[in-house]
Amino acid sequence: MKHRDREGGEAAFCRHYEAVYRERWPALMSALRGEADSVAYDAGGAEAYRLDSASVFAARALVLPAAGELLDACAAPGGKSVVIASRMGADLRLIANELSSERRRRLVDALNRSLSPSVRARVVVSGEDAAAMCRRNVERFGAILLDAPCSSERHVLADPAALAAWTEARPRQLAQRQWALLSSAFLMLKPGGCLVYATCSINPAENDGIIARLDAKHGGRLRFDAPECEEGERTAYGVLVLPDRSGGAGPMYVCRVFKTEADAGA
C-alpha–C-alpha distance, residues 33 and 163, integer Å: 12
User: Which of 194, 200, 229, 255 is flagged as catalytic?
Assistant: 200
200 catalytic? Reply is yes
Q: Which residues contact residue 200 at a Cβ distance below 8 angstroms, ignoring those fewer than 6 apart?
A: 52, 55, 150, 152, 154, 250, 251, 252, 253
Bridge partner list, 203 = none
For CA atoms 163, 165, 169, 173, the dihedral sign is negative
Is residue 195 within 8 A of residue 146, CB to CB? The reply is yes
Q: Tell me the C-alpha distance between 95 and 118, whole Å.
A: 15
- Rounded to whole angstroms, how far apart are CA atoms 99 and 81? 15
User: Would you call 126 helix, strand, or coil by DSSP?
Assistant: strand
Cite the active site residues: 200
